[in-house]
Amino acid sequence: MRLTELDYNLPPELVAQEPLGRRDEARLLVLDRRGGTVEHSRFYKLGDFLRDGDLLVLNDTRVFPARLFARKPTGGAVELLMVRPVGEPPGAWLALMRGHRGLREGTRLVLDDGRALRIAGYQRPGRPLVTSDDSISIEAMLESVGALALPHYIRRAPNPADREDYQTVFAAQPGAVAAPTAGLHFTRELMARLAAAGVRTAFVTLHIGPGTFTPLRAPQVEAHTMEAEWYTIPPATLEALALARRTGARVIAVGTSSVRTLESHAITGDAEGATGLFISPGFRFRAIDAMVTNFHMPRSTVLAMVMAFAGREEILGAYRQALRHRYRFLSYGDAMLIL
């Protein structure tokens, strides 16, 4: 697939900058990928399109405040996106350093509160290994002075409300730098109504990292390499998936991160591990029957995934309708159900 086949024109004014006052008031575009038909609805009516026995699989990762702002010995500002802990050196974190040439190994960085970090080495250019140079751990520093890493296309400063707005109501396992945004539309009330209608839910965990949002640049989409992310599927979810298969119920993945988790498990049989699975057109889906997702950026890995699931022309046709009807796009935007 050529990279240009993932292009479409996204007007900047349709990129949602704020969440809705009520999550489940988001608009819902329902695409029947086999018939090619499109229906317009609202997310709180999701149950109208589901059946008794359907299994919704949601990602319960919790976003942590991953951005740290520091100063070099020269006084220059440094922004770090803390990605995840690593085994060596002890207590170190892998980070992403934005907008700066590589700092020398051993450089000491001072945070706004006076605490200090040190560059312990590099995994690769732009990806330093960072350790605490203070009496408290990096985890404690993040809790104290860390900031949310909102996506770059949200062109405003984070505000205190984002701490909850950019978190699903079922978030439980800390470790993501970005939210599983298809899950942001759920409210506890909606989940209770779905359960009362016989729709079952199960949870997986995939800690979303910056690799999910790395733009595709290779002229051939298949040449892209995904950065691995850690996932876990608990035993209760494995049992729910097996029951769905035995009874002929549909497995509906909520969000592209849930899709990657379930399809990784279908390929490897592993209920836990690091997945670098990149799903693009031509991929054979084994684990899911339907998908809830948001509207995605051009030339993105997640757009390639939904095209793989529903077909390129079907997705572009649905996106044209969404644009014409002025849907809100990207993380704080509206939703799509692909059946």
Q: How far, in Å, CA of 182 to CA of 277, rounded?
A: 19
List, in order of start, the domains of the chain with CATH numbers. 3-63+161-338 (3.40.1780.10), 67-145 (2.40.10.240)
Rounded-to-integer distance, Cα 46 and Cα 42, Å: 7
Q: Give the model's pLDDT for residue 100.
A: 59
Average pLDDT over residues 131-149: 92
Strands 335-338, 27-31: pairing is parallel
pLDDT, tens digit (0-9, with 9 covering 90-100), for 6-23:
999 999 999 999 999 999
CB 122 within 8 A of CB 129: yes
More confident residue, 103 or 233: 233
At 151-203, the pLDDT tens digits run 989 998 888 899 999 999 999 999 999 999 999 999 999 999 999 999 999 99
pLDDT at 210: 83
Instruction: For residue 54, give the DSSP letter.
Output: -
Q: What is the pLDDT of residues 84-107, one digit of tens each?
A: 999 788 889 999 987 556 788 999
Residue identified by tokens 């990207």 is 330
* Beta strands per DSSP E along 147-257: 173-176, 200-206, 229-232, 251-254
Q: What is the pLDDT of residue 260?
A: 98
Q: How many CA atoms lie within 13 A of 158 on its CB side?
A: 16
Which residues on adjacent β-strands are paired with residue 202?
A: 57
- Lowest pLDDT segment from 38-47, 99-108, 162-171, 319-328: 99-108
The share of the chain scoring above pLDDT 90, in percent, equals 84
Q: Is the pLDDT of residue 71 over 70?
A: yes
pTM to 2 decimal places: 0.93
Closest CA to 225 of 301, 118, 316, 329: 301
How far is the C-alpha of 74 from the C-alpha of 194, rounded, in Å? 57
d(CA 34, CA 247) in angstroms, rounded, equals 22
Burial letters for 64-94: b for 16+ Cβ neighbours within 10 Å, e otherwise? bbbbbebebeeeeebbbbbbbebeeeeebbb
